[in-house]
Amino acid sequence: MKNLLIFILIFTFSINIKAQKVKDIKMKTENDSLSYAFGISIADNLSKQKIKNLNPQAIGRAFQDFYKNEAKINADDANKMIQDYFENQEAQKHKEIIDIGNKFLSENAKKEGVKVLESGLQYKILTEGTGAIPTSTDKVKVHYEGTLIDGTKFDSSYDRGNPTEFGVTQVIKGWTEALQLMKEGSIWELYIPYDLAYGSRQAGQEIKPFSTLIFKVELISIVK
């Protein structure tokens, strides 16, 4: 639905209508009626999204400014603002999960052997390897086990008895960052904040939106 809303906004902007004051609009032509229909569609979608307190005059002014090439923000920034709004709304719905994750990370950071990076990623070295360190363009072979902070296991290559291979940048941000610090043969435990994991997305049945995750990662080798 969020993507649909953004699509409708962008598509509406692409229609060649004349910039004029909102109060002066009269549906004299088919194009006027079509333009009005798009306005109703946008309003209907905003209503279904339960977005309150929007200023209709500001929306009308945005249309006018856009077609006069006087827009105060560009389309990319506007879309980013809309996306941030929806993410913040989702975050409020999952505040309890976020608070529990933040509390865990705050307490975990004080534990012996745990290191905290500027991004918020935390890790503990279980075994220090001696091999090469992967780069962003490398492919790696790893064993891993993923759990929630309550200990619930949601995935494990160890249980399957089969390591997996993937590109360093083809995984969640927390993994990408950690892998470029690990030496071949290393085993690390990663403590990954939600914004470096799956963010506002649900991943499978176990990983709820905004979940903080724990991974045991064994970097077996860089795949040549």
Catalytic residue positions, numbered: 144, 154-155, 172, 198, 215
Distance between CA 81 and CA 170 in Å, rounded?
A: 26
Here the tokens at position 214 are 């724990």
